[in-house]
Structure 1
Amino acid sequence: MAQLFYAPDLEKNKLLPEDEARHCLQVLRHQKNDVITIIDGKGCFFEGQILTDNAKKCEINILKKVKDINSQRNYYLHLAIAPTKNIDRVEWLLEKCTEIGIDEISFIQCNRSERKEIKIDRLEKICIQAIKQSQKALLPKINPIVSFSKFLEQNLKDYSQKLIAHLVDEDRKELNSVLESKSKYCILIGPEGDFDAKEVAIAIQKEFLPVTLGKSILRTETAGIMACCNVAIKNIES
Structure 2
Amino acid sequence: MTSPADGRGATGSLVAIGVVKTFAALRAVDGVSLTFNRGEILGLIGPNGSGKTTLINVLTGMLHITAGEVWVNGTNITGWAPHRIARVGLARTFQVVRLFHEFSVLENVEVAALSSGRIPRREATARAWEALERVGIAHLAPWPAAALPQGEERRVEIARALATAPEFLLLDEPGAGLTEPEVETLLATLSTIRRDLGCGILIVDHDMRLIMRLCDRIHVLNYGRTIAEGTPDEVRREPAVIEAYLGASAEAG
Q: TM-score, normalised by structure 2?
A: 0.26
Larger radius of gyration: 1
Pick the structure with more helix per residue. 2
Task: Tell me the TM-score normalised to structure 1 length.
Answer: 0.27
